């Protein structure tokens, strides 16, 4: 009798464990989701592709997040669009061509909320930039206007230690220009002369932690900004949070740059990343004087 009771208890325990396992699986894995799809890159112009979302046609962009149900088609015979699927264990890439017909995004996961917030902030910023672009002064204005370094704060400008190049843009003045990088005692670290354009990249430089000055001199006017180089632990927490997330590397670069651009003292560093990563839309927005809304750290 005792043996039978023990056998019954063992069988009941096994069935209970099996039932709990089934319940847990049904709760935490209700259905298989694809990892999120992003547009990594494409050839040609956006007009050579058709993206339809919930009945509305959208213009494609690099590092654009695709949503469940989106329909994407290549219209040009020579067009190629590269998609990246950010599976944390193994990122996958897909190439779409006209021959492959319509790609319909399967039911996919979404990125973390803070990435979604950055996407929304970027869309809002670029919409504002587009609306105000016609009324913005020319970046290449010369003559009567004095030299003005662009994409920088009038007060503090922080840079992350480790930069080996510095890209500088300015407006106003008349060529030839000179650009000087100065140490905290105003001694010249490096200088470029006889510059005929309104931008330059200073290369082969080192930036230990400390204070510096940057000066652009035109024919009859000049512009100066103060630079402070700090360790990366001084960067806003959101910047590090984005880089630690499971999204494609180019998406991290894009939205980490945007996170910095929203803080005036980090705007000049954001311009450096926009130049290095080829984020032409970010770079143009910053140079035109449009800064995204501040983001809570």
Q: pLDDT at position 90, please?
A: 63
Whether 106 and 152 share a structural domain: no
My answer on whether 181 and 62 are in the same domain is: no
Mean pLDDT of the chain, nearest integer: 84
Instruction: Report the alpha-carbon angle 179-184-188, nearest 5.
Output: 35
> Same structural domain for residues 84 and 159?
no
- Report the first-to-last Cα separation within the chain, whole angstroms: 67
Q: Would residue 20 count as lying in a domain?
A: no
Looking at the domain assignment, is residue 254 inside a domain? yes
pTM as predicted: 0.78
Q: Looking at the structure, do residues 197 and 83 belong to the same domain, yes or no?
A: no
122 lies in some domain? no
Number of domains making up the chain: 2
Task: Provide, rounded to the nearest whole percent, the portion of the chain with pLDDT above 90.
Answer: 63
The domain of 100 spans 37-110
Distance (Å, whole) CA 52 – CA 62: 16
Q: What digits encode the pLDDT tens for the residues 151-200? A: 999 889 999 999 999 999 999 999 999 999 999 999 999 999 999 999 99
The answer for residues whose C-beta is within 8 angstroms of residue 249's C-beta and 6 or more apart is none
DSSP string for residues in 57-100: EE---TTEEE-TT-EEEE-STT--EEEEE--SS--EEEEE-GGG
Are 214 and 260 part of one and the same domain?
A: yes
Q: What is the pLDDT of residues 72-129, one digit of tens each?
A: 999 999 999 999 987 766 678 889 999 999 999 999 888 889 999 999 888 888 777 6
The domain that contains 171 carries what CATH number? 2.60.40.1220
Tell me the per-residue pLDDT of 220-243, one tens digit each, with 9 for 90 and over.
899 999 999 999 999 999 999 999
Helices 267-276, 249-261: axis angle to 10 degrees equals: 150
Same domain for 81 and 160? no
How far apart CA 231 and CA 152 sit, in angstroms, is 19
Domain end residue (candidates: 90, 110, 130): 110
Closest C-alpha among 255, 158, 248 to residue 210 = 158
Q: Are residues 172 and 102 in the same domain?
A: no
């Amino acid at each position: 009798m005792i043996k039978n009771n023990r056998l019954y208890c063992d069988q009941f325990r096994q069935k209970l464990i099996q039932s709990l396992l089934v319940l847990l699986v049904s709760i935490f894995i209700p259905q298989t989701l694809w990892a999120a799809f992003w547009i990594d890159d494409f050839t040609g112009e956006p007009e050579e592709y058709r993206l339809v979302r919930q009945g509305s046609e959208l213009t494609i962009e690099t590092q654009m997040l695709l949503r469940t149900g989106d329909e994407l088609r290549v219209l040009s015979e020579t067009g190629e669009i590269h998609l990246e699927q950010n599976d944390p264990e193994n990122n996958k890439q897909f190439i779409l061509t006209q021959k492959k017909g319509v790609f319909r995004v399967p039911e996919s996961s979404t990125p973390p909320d803070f990435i979604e917030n950055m996407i929304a902030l970027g869309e809002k910023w670029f919409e504002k930039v587009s609306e105000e672009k016609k009324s913005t002064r020319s970046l290449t204005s010369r003559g009567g206007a004095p030299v003005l370094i662009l994409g920088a704060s009038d007060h503090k400008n922080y840079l992350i230690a480790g930069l080996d190049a510095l890209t500088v843009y300015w407006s106003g003045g008349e060529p030839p220009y000179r650009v000087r990088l100065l140490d905290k005692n105003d001694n010249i670290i490096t200088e470029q002369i006889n510059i005929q354009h309104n931008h330059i990249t200073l290369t082969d430089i080192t930036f230990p932690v400390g204070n510096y000055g940057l000066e652009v001199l035109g024919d009859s006017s000049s512009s100066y900004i103060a630079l402070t180089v700090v360790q990366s632990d001084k960067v806003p927490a959101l910047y590090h949070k984005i880089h630690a997330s499971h999204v494609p590397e180019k998406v991290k670069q894009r939205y980490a740059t945007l996170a910095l651009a929203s803080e005036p003292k980090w705007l000049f560093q954001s311009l450096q990343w926009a130049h290095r990563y080829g984020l032409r839309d970010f770079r143009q927005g910053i140079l035109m004087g449009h800064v995204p809304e501040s983001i809570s750290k």
